[in-house]
Amino acid sequence: MADGKPFNVLFLCTHNSARSILAEAMLNHLGQGRFKAYSAGSSPRENQQPNPMALEVLRNAGVSTEGLRSKTWDEFGKPDAPHMDLVITVCDNAAGEVCPFWPGHPATAHWGYPDPSEAQGSEEQKLEAFRQTLHAIRRRLELLVNLPLEGVDKS
């Protein structure tokens, strides 16, 4: 960005354990400092943690999992929270919910993906569902990181 600040993106899902975690980690990996990704859930379960299979496929893809944690979207509505430039829902449930007020009026988008944690079958089949979801997210994020952001008004 012309002002040197990264373009902040928040990925939302219901539990913040799989799709939104995959998207956060992948955008931080691909964004090369131009983007700063975050993720949150509309209603994470008590003591929610990132899905171990999500973390495994990220590590296998060479993507850092350091600092990833499940959190509620309420964290990002607080006055001291980072201001988002773009909020993307990655599951249909979160897309249909009434979102909190986001300071700064960020742009919004919906990228729906099936929940890989609902995949049935062997451990390998379940891991493949996570790999396929990560691959689909990566394809969209590669397009996003290659957009010219210089003309985007972040005020």
The catalytic site residues sit at 13, 91, 99
Beta carbons within 8 Å of 92's beta carbon, 6+ residues apart: 112
Instruction: Tell me the one-letter amino acid at 92.
Output: D
CB distance 109 to 86 below 8 Å: yes
* DSSP at 71: -
Backbone φ/ψ region at 10: left (φ over 0), alpha (ψ -120 to 50), beta: beta
